Amino acid sequence: KSKLLPFCADILGAALSCIADDEKEIRKKAESTNKALLDLIEKTDSTANSFDLHPLLNKVTLQLLNKWVPSRLASLRWISMLLRKLPGELFNFLDELFPALLKTLHDPDDEVVRLDLEVLARISLGESGKLNQTNFEMVLNHLIKRFREDRKFLEHRGSLIIRQLSVLLNGESIYRTLARILKSIED
């Protein structure tokens, strides 16, 4: 199993691409490969530097743009697991990851949006698992910016996003921080 770690990103990229294949056998093999790789990475000693996180994140982030819902969901599960397992290392790649996560909020599938919000909530919590005010405000600032730029997005997804974040994080903190951010905006 550990001999696969250097090739994990390439194998994962292929598996995520095939998770929604029309052929049942290919889909089942891709799902089992994805699950096995997820388990392998989850159980690998995180201090051993046994796998390179950057190529893995590139494959996962690329699949967020996949037209198939199962591939996008699997990618978000990977990001969520990596945030739990390696929060410090993953926060180093936030500049690359964050735009893709924000774009995924526009996804037409509600389940994809909910899982994306779970990932954004995990980012808001930071490495300690407690609310990290800097990350939390960054997430909310970007959401407000998206809402301001795209009125249709606000009308279509705004309520779901705020409600779901309130369930995942402290609702009072969300509303207080949103109010503070909105107060600082002139328009």
Please write the tens of the pLDDT for every residue from 98-152.
Answer: 899 999 999 999 999 999 999 999 999 877 778 888 889 999 999 999 999 999 9
pLDDT of amino acid 91:
85
Q: For residue 141, what are the contacts with CB-CB under 8 A and spacing of at least 6?
A: 181
Q: Above 70 in pLDDT, residue 48?
A: no
pLDDT (0 to 100) of residue 49: 61
- Give the model's confidence band at 1: pLDDT under 50 very low, under 70 low, under 90 confident, else very high: confident
Say yes or no to pLDDT of 46 above 80: no
What value, to the nearest 5°, has the Cα angle with vertex 141 and ends 97 and 118? 50
Nearest to 38 by CA among 74, 65, 64, 91: 74
What's the average model confidence in pLDDT over 57-61? 93
The model scores a pTM over 0.75: yes
Q: Which pLDDT belongs to residue 87?
A: 85
Question: Is pLDDT of 28 > 50?
Answer: yes
CA separation (Å) from 46 to 16, 50, 89, 118?
23, 8, 10, 22
Flag the least confident range among 47-56, 71-80, 91-100.
47-56
Name which residue leads in pLDDT, 89 or 113.
Answer: 113
The answer to whether the beta carbons of residues 37 and 87 sit under 8 Å apart is no
Place of tokens 């509600």: 110
The CB-based long-range contact list for 152-156 (8 Å cut-off, 24+ gap) reads: 153/105, 153/106
pLDDT tier, 94 (very low <50, low <70, confident <90, very high otherwise): confident
Asked if 59 contacts 16 with a C-beta cutoff of 8 angstroms, the reply is: yes
> What's the pLDDT score for residue 45?
77
